[in-house]
Chain A
């Protein structure tokens, strides 16, 4: 399942950036980022009775600004984008990647529900995807910097055989 989710997330991310921002990142498996300076992260959860998935995309603020400007079709306008729009764009990127994961991993019998995206911005923060999970992490390199795509796939909670 981890392989399916990570591939769907990676292909989804590549499509989001290529189709909407017209830039294709080079992806490599890599441990998560060491957050220094100001970063913006978009977080989305997906879940069904069979599986729970969390996806996080981490951007250094400058890269988030650059990609926001590209999304809006104005690569030279990066400096002018206000903080609200950059946070909104990061949330929407996470949301679109989650949409791709949903379509690849969910099924008619077991559809996945997707949360509204949450966005965190700040200096030297960490996002803990707690619990027993299988995890993946990719570094996506753009001409103007790198972002990280992380995911955790949680096994369903097991009820005791005679439990309620």
Chain B
């Protein structure tokens, strides 16, 4: 039985993007298109969809009115509706949730985000058979390996502690679904599956709430320095270079234990300090701390990195990662580093996107208060 999905948007481009995303979501898909709310109601009366992807701002009839009528009608009230809109105001999101939407997605979005969110809604509404079952997850802690080479999967298994389970898939979209079911210790993904696909999968995983504490490791050939540089430029600093020995795998795991990131509220700001470990080992713990700060309602954060002189390339990727992540969450960040040459370097570069860099935590707190 095909998944019947309706996309309601006044933009033909968005309708086609949604149709294309839906095609990657289930083996068989039938897409119904409507350019405004009234057309949606007309179509729903004739052909009931399994799920509706609904914009808010449209001519003729907007998404809010359309949603109200769908929910008032007993014959259509149970159809799950996912809002897909540029509106991101808290008041709008809350109003839509009260009206009974199943999920809220903000444009722009990635195909992976679409797959995960719409897939989860279908599962919650008993329609999982339309998109296929999840693999059985092992009990306890596990590594999620996105890899198509059985030999590499076995090497990772050999290097990991015995108590850890290994779940392997060669499909980044499937990996997103697995991550949504239960967070692993780490995701190890082969860039050879398509670097852009893997970067996008990682980026989406980093934005999902289930990612707290998850580490992201990109694997690629030791000889492919270009790909390694691209991974670092995208903010993926932990690399597993192939071929690797069990000792190298163990060294990677030791690094996770070494990283020490502390996060404490100070007044109306949140102070995040990374004291030990290399940037690559701290990255995911730092991002998780920024997530926690945002979730707890802090809009001001102070990020202090350990005064360790590390490679410019790694440092640049780290700062850019923090700046982008804070910006996406609407958090105002100030950076603290005691090394003058690093401050000078940061102020001259574009990595911090023009955000302030200071020498001491007290100085940063004063700047945030001002």
Q: Taking beta carbons and an 8 Å cutoff, which residues of A are in contact with B? A: 7, 11, 15-16, 19-20, 22, 68, 71-73, 84-85, 88-89, 91-92, 95-96, 98-100, 102-104, 106, 108, 111, 114, 116
**With contact pairs A72-B17, A96-B108 given, residues A116 and B59 touching in the complex (Cβ less than 8 Å):** yes
* A19 and chain B: residue at smallest CB distance: B108
Whether B17 lies near A103 (C-beta < 8 A) is no
Q: Are A99 and B13 in contact (CB under 8 A)?
A: no
In the bound complex, do residue A72 and residue B13 qualify as a contact, i.e. CB atoms below 8 Å apart?
yes
Q: How large is the interface on B (under 10, 10 to 19, 20 to 34, 35 or more residues)?
A: 20 to 34
Q: For B85, B86, B111, which residue has the most chain A Cβ atoms within 10 angstroms?
A: B86
Q: Which of B53-74 contact A (CB under 8 A)?
A: 57, 59
- Complex alpha-carbon distance, A15 and B59, angstroms: 26
Interface string of B5-17 (1 = CB under 8 A from A): 0000011111011
Minimum CB–CB distance for A116 against chain B, Å? 7
Complex CA distance for A107 and B13, rounded to whole angstroms: 29
Assembly CA distance A15 to B207 (angstroms) = 13
Residue of A nearest to B328 (CB): A15
Give, as a whole number of angstroms, the nearest-CB distance from B203 to chain A.
8
Complex interface: chain B residues within 8 A of A108 (CB): 89-91
A68 touches B13 (CB 8 A): yes
User: Contacts of B91 on A, CB cut-off 8 Å?
Assistant: 108, 111
Which residues in A have their C-beta under 8 angstroms from that of B330?
Answer: 103-104
| A20: chain B residues within 8 A (beta carbon) | 17, 107-110
Using known A-B contacts A20-B110, A22-B200, determine if residue A103 contacts B327 with beta carbons closer than 8 Å. Answer: no
A-B contact pairs, 27 of them (CB 8 A): A11-B327, A15-B108, A15-B328, A19-B110, A20-B107, A20-B108, A20-B109, A20-B110, A22-B196, A72-B20, A73-B111, A85-B16, A88-B12, A88-B13, A89-B11, A89-B13, A91-B11, A96-B86, A98-B86, A99-B106, A99-B107, A102-B87, A102-B88, A103-B330, A104-B330, A106-B89, A116-B59
